[in-house]
Structure 1
Amino acid sequence: MTFDTKIAIVVRESLAQWQKLNVTAFLAGGLAGVYPEIVGDRYRDGSGVAYGPLVRQPILVFAADAEALTRVLKRAAERGVVPSIYTMELFTTYNDVDNRAAVANVPTDKLDLAGVALHAERKTLDKIVKGLKLHA
């Protein structure tokens, strides 16, 4: 099945493994909140037990350095794509109110990005992540 859109998460390659997983999970959840159409239906096994839904299309995960993450954010803005972001400061906050305050205190060009998540038309997303390698 081919989708008209793509989902990409770009994580800072220098993060510890647990941080990469944490950032990826937070960002995927953020996209599901903004784009409810990417979430499929609930699952039910053969015994009738119900489970939560999943994102209905593949998520490509890329690795990047801080400079490339900033470039991704800029490219997204230039193309009118609203990303979800996770900054390095969010590793030191422990609730949503403090998280938003930590981001609000920093101008766009000074954000210390740990990750960026995007959902956009396929060709647009390809241009935004051009030059990045999939996370290994």
Structure 2
Amino acid sequence: MAMDTKIVVVLREDLPPGQAANAGAVLGLALGGRLEHSVAADGKDAGGRVHAGLNPHPVPTLTATGEQLREIKEEAEDQGLLVVGFNEVARRSRDYVAYLDALADTAPEEVEYTGLALLGARGEVNRLTKRLSLLR
């Protein structure tokens, strides 16, 4: 069954593996928290053990340059897509209050994106991300 919407995670291409994993997790949690029905029903294996439901969307993880991330974020927001951005200000902050304080002192053009999670119409998400490579 094809879905009308698509979720994509785009990470900055130069992130070390640990930072990439962290950024992907933060973005997934933040995006999921904004969705009313983000988790499908629980399932059972042949032994009757319950497995917690997952997000039913496939979630490709792509890579982009920092500049591409900024461009994608701006265009995605202009198109009305749901966009969650993870940035260096957040990554370097020790807690959320420190992040909010540091972000308030950061000019918009100085925000360096570590990654984005996008949700929107399949065609629009594809248009914005079709030239990006899968994370390797």
TM-score range, shorter chain: 0.7 to 0.9
When normalised by structure 2's length, the TM-score is 0.87
Change (3 A) 1:108 1:40: farther
Q: Which residue of 2 aligns with 1:33?
A: 33
Q: Is the 8 A contact 1:87 1:111 kept in 2?
A: yes
Structure 1 residue 23 corresponds to structure 2 residue 28: no
Q: Which residue of 1 aligns with 2:76?
A: 76
Once the two structures are superposed, residues 49-73 of structure 1 have per-residue CA deviations (whole angstroms, 9 ceiling, x without a partner) of 3333211110011101111111111
Q: CA deviation at 1:12?
A: 0.6
When normalised by structure 1's length, the TM-score is 0.87
Q: Which runs of 5+ in 1 are unaligned?
A: none
Structure 1 residue 67 corresponds to structure 2 residue 63: no
- Compute the RMSD of aligned alpha carbons: 1.8
CA distance in 2, matches of 1:23, 1:107: 22
> The residue matched to 1:37 in structure 2 has which SS?
coil
CA distance in 2, matches of 1:101, 1:24: 23
Q: Which residue of 2 aligns with 1:7?
A: 7
Calculate percent identity across the aligned residue pairs.
Answer: 26
- Matched pairs, number: 136
Q: CA deviation at 1:36?
A: 2.8
Q: Is the 8 A contact 2:39 2:53 kept in 1?
A: yes
CA distance in 2, matches of 1:32, 1:39: 8
